[in-house]
Structure 1
Amino acid sequence: MTQKYTITVAGGGSTFTPGIVLMLLKESSRFPIRKIMLYDNDPERQKIIAEACGIYLRENAPEIEFGYTDDPKEAFTGIDFVLAHIRVGKYAMREKDEKIPLKYGVVGQETCGPGGIAYGMRSIGGVLEILNYMEAYSPDAWMLNYSNPAAIVAEATNRLRPDSKILNICDMPIDLEEKMAGIAGLKSRKEMQVGYYGLNHFGWWHQIYDKAGNDLMPVIRAYIAENGFPVSAEQQVDDSWAHTFKMAREVYAIDPETIPNTYLKYYLFPYEIAAGLDPEYTRANEVMDGREKKVFSVCREIIEKGTSSGSNFEADAHATYIVDLARAIAENTQERFLLIVPNEGAIENFERTAMVEIPCIVGKNGYEKICQGKIPRFQKGMMEQQVNVEKLVVDAWIEGSYQKLWQALTLSKTVPSAAAAKVILDEFIQANEDYWPELT
């Protein structure tokens, strides 16, 4: 008899949840599902998403048991995997993360710079809470965590829950690898084998081969030098993302021997980026006026009609990596993934305790790191600065230290001075009084 798996989606009220549910359904021949449970601590928001998903599943996969709850015991009992994509403070707090730094001419971004630090201070407690529920009610389950900001969350979980069954992963490298596969004339990133090193949202590809061992770096580098990363017509990205993909040209030019993660633009061109952002209308507003409204509108329409027939529900196609990762654990497929893991020598000339993003082989017992050797001085210098920002943020959360958080903001390459760091921090403290630990 085929093994079937029970999944809890933590962050059931997310606009990404319908796409995840449909993706699980689409991939059910590879990864059979017995039950999907949604969990969120905002029951009213989750109810809209969940009822629409429930109608879709009843019509298209009635054999899959489905439920939703805000009760941790109900959500996390008898499960095999937790898919965690929580957003503590929701988009209202993301808007503040982005707009407060911009008032002072500093980059306002979801995961990079001051905004990422503020978000990290909220996310640590939320992810640890979910992890505690999982371990209390289903101690053999695995958490596949892609909650942002992944670098800070991974540093915190590694330090505070070092023995937990959690894999921290990010979808951005996966999206970029799909684009690079297209550049190289391949059908899928799975036809490539990559070498990559960095921190989350802060890394570089240094090797890319096809299955026959042919070096794909020259053709990909030439394309990016000219165009940046491609955007297909069907992808329909917002203007801010189109700019990000195109600006990979400028980021690439700084080190044309490697291919950069697109988020590096915020660290290498922080003042130029900040100057080009609208402090009154940021990415958070784009999302709230775009995907947020669209997804909830579709869900309400499904609920009102009582059927998902003719709806615009779509599977999150690139999120199939979640199924791939779950299968690697459940069925010991030994597939490669970029994971955020303790360095411990995998990058030979970098701090052993750093949480680095590198290729790993995943199976039923967890992961094995693939060593990336020594990295160049330029990348090493940038990474050393950023990893200390992340460690200071976690220090500040654990110790309730104002001083450590001020130091973290000051050390960020996106912040021009300690004075700017302090005024941003003081305003962040007021904005996050319901979310951050008290700082003294």
Structure 2
Amino acid sequence: MKKFAITIAGGGSTFTPGIVDMLLSSYEEFPISEIKLYDNLAERQEPIGKACDIMISERYPDVKFSYTTDPEEAFTGIDFVMAHIRVGLYAMRELDEKIPLNYGVVGQETCGPGGMAYGMRSITGVLEILDYMEEYSPDAWMLNYSNPAAIVAEATRRLRPDSKIINICDMPIGMEDSFATILGLESRKDMIVRYYGLNHFGWWDSITDKEGNDLMPQLTKYISEHGLVLDTDAFQHNDESWKETYRKMRDVIALTPEIIPNSYLKYYYYPDYVVETSDKEHTRANEVMEGREKQVFSTAEKIVEAGTAEGIEFEADAHATFIVDLARAIAYNTKERMLLIVPNNGSISNFTYDAMVEIPCLVGSDGPEPLHIGEIPHFQKGLMEQQVNVEKLVVDAYVEKSYTKMWQALTLSKIVPSAKVAKDLLDALIEANADYWPELR
């Protein structure tokens, strides 16, 4: 049986150990010959690399492992790139969140001005990794988890249209895990879901079990009464900010009481509430730096100091399990049904043809085969039309180095109140991102 070589791009990410752990746990179903970590920041990658080296040598000593900052070494002779880079690290995420709040606008990692700022940074980094892969391993697939996925997907669609890249997001997967818990199911894979929208901007309009029984009434009733807060130790979504988001689902679902919205729609439905309840001095980025960031690097240090991973574990979250499932579906042509970000091409029949939409696909060795959704309601379509054009304008601004296009993108965003605020915000974001954005004129 063929064994697969994997490069994890963003080797210093806090998500990397979880992906490595999941690859090892899935070895019997998805055998691997080699794992490489790649990062352009050697100092950040080193503790993660050393810990993963110990973990792999103890569990699967036949799996070759290395970590490097050299692109040729990292991307030669591989079958898959699993990418989750964060250009500017959490220091820039903190600015993405705090600068908009200073102007009375939602400060969030992927939504609104913060997401646009992050997108302008991410495009260059994702294209760079994609180009390395195509130069050194032209038959490989890139499975991209790098945020903001919607803007990155639009950029790769436009700038690298023939590339073997699939853009993915774990947020719907995490929510589906919660749905399964509410329903008393063993796994989200016991459900057949129909979902449509843009990344961090979509809705479930059908969820059944494998016998075709409708599970939506039970789910919508529960969420309308309780939100999505569960008694769980979920590693990624157990911080207070996430609990608040899941509580707010009671209000978010009220607009579409028979359809379940993605929790990120909170930022678009209730931006005034989000701003009022945000702490301008301590945002989600601070939570992550004080929590997950410290936990992961502390765990890595413990493994390195002990010289063993015995009794010391990293946690594999929805992100890790999903990306490994996707690689396996491509490798073995399984035709597994998965939510992916793909060109619409008529799947949503009354929506922009060249939009990058998040919908169910069947995944095989040729990549994703999007399923037909048909027409969607006016409310969802109207919101999506506005948002997809924001995303397209950001990519326009990047490609054309256009100040005006970026100003238009910010002005069009549902959560920015006026063109004046948009311009003030843009000027502040340009100053903060001087080392990362193309120079706009």
TM, length-normalised to structure 2: 0.98
Partner of 1:335: 336
1:409 match: 410
Residue pair 1:9, 1:38 contacting (<8 A) in 2 also? yes
Q: Deviations over 1:228-251 (max 9, x none)?
A: 114233225000000111111100
Aligned to 1:24: 23
Instruction: Report the CA distance shift for 1:365/1:428 in structure 2 as closer, same or farther (over 3 A).
Output: same
Cα distance, 1:316 vs. partner? Answer: 3.1
> Which letter maps to 1:88?
V
Q: How far does residue 311 in structure 1 lie from its aligned partner after superposition?
A: 1.9
Mapped partners of 1:135, 1:369: distance in 2: 24
Distance across 2 between alignment mates of 1:317 and 1:205: 18
Where 1:82 maps in the other structure, the secondary structure is strand
Q: Is the 8 A contact 1:8 1:76 kept in 2?
A: yes
1:154-211 per-residue CA deviation (whole Å, 9 max, x = no partner) reads 0000001111001111000001111112222211111111111100000000111110
**Conserved? CA contact 2:169–2:319, under 8 Å:** no
| 2:42 maps to 1:67 | no
Q: Per-residue displacement from partner, 1:335-374 (whole Å, max 9, x unpaired)?
A: 0111111111100110101111000001001111111110
> What per-residue deviation string (whole Å, max 9, x for no partner) do you get for residues 94-146 of structure 1?
00000000111111000001000000000001000000000000000000001
- Aligned partner letter, 1:371: H
Distance 1:3 1:123 in 2: 33
Moved more, 235-244 or 109-118: 235-244
Distance 1:344 1:60 in 2: 44
Counterpart check, 1:287 vs 2:292: no
Q: Which residue of the partner structure matches residue 301 of structure 2? A: 300
What is the distance in 2 between the residues matched to 1:356 and 1:304?
A: 45
The DSSP-based 3-state class of the residue aligned with 1:147 is coil
Alignment check: 8 A CA contact 1:196 1:358 kept: yes
SS at match of 1:235: coil
Q: 5+ unaligned residues in a row in structure 1: which ranges?
A: none
1:36 counterpart residue number: 35
Preserved CA contact (<8 Å) 1:12 1:40 = yes
Say whether residues 1:426 and 2:427 are aligned partners.
yes
Residues 173 and 318, structure 2, Cα contact 8 Å, conserved in 1:
no
State whether residues 95 and 432 of structure 2, in contact with CA within 8 Å, keep that contact through their aligned partners in structure 1.
Answer: yes
Indicate conservation of the 8 Å contact 2:299/2:314, yes or no.
Answer: yes
| Residue 351, structure 1, aligned to residue 352, structure 2 | yes
How many percent of aligned residue pairs carry the same amino acid? 67
> How far apart, in 1, do the equivalents of 2:136 and 2:232 lie?
45
Offset, 1:318: 5.6
Q: Which residue of 2 aligns with 1:384?
A: 385
- Taking the aligned partners of 1:139 and 1:152, their CA distance within structure 2 comes to 24
Greater Cα shift, 229-238 or 187-196: 229-238
* Alpha-carbon displacement from aligned partner over 1:9-57 (angstroms, at most 9, x marks no partner): 0000001111111111111111111100000000110011100111111
What is the alpha-carbon distance in structure 2 between the residues aligned to residue 189 and residue 243 of structure 1?
23
List aligned pairs for 1:6-25, cutoff 5 A: 6-25=5-24
Mapped partners of 1:96, 1:211: distance in 2: 45
Please state how far the C-alpha of 1:317 moved relative to its aligned partner: 5.6
Distance 1:175 1:64 in 2: 29
After TM superposition, the structure 1 = structure 2 runs for residues 118-133 of structure 1, keeping only pairs within 5 Å, are 118-133=117-132
Deviates more, 1:315-324 or 1:158-167: 315-324
Report the 3-state secondary structure (helix = DSSP H, G, I; strand = E; otherwise coil) of the residue aligned with 2:328: helix
What do you get for the CA RMSD once the two structures are aligned? 1.0
Q: For the Cα contact (< 8 Å) 2:170–2:318, is it kept in 1? A: no
Give CA deviations for 1:371-409 in whole Å, capped at 9, x if unaligned.
111000000000000000000000000000000001101
Q: What corresponds to 2:89 in structure 1?
A: 90
1:116 paired with 2:120, answer no
* Conserved 8 A contact 1:107-1:270: yes
Structure 2: how far apart are the matches of 1:318 and 1:116? Answer: 19
- 1:156 match: 155
Paired with 1:111 and 1:308, the residues of 2 have a C-alpha distance of 34
> TM-score scaled by structure 1?
0.98
Name the amino acid aligned to 1:253. A
**How many residues were matched structurally?**
439
Which consecutive unaligned segments of at least 5 residues does structure 2 have?
none
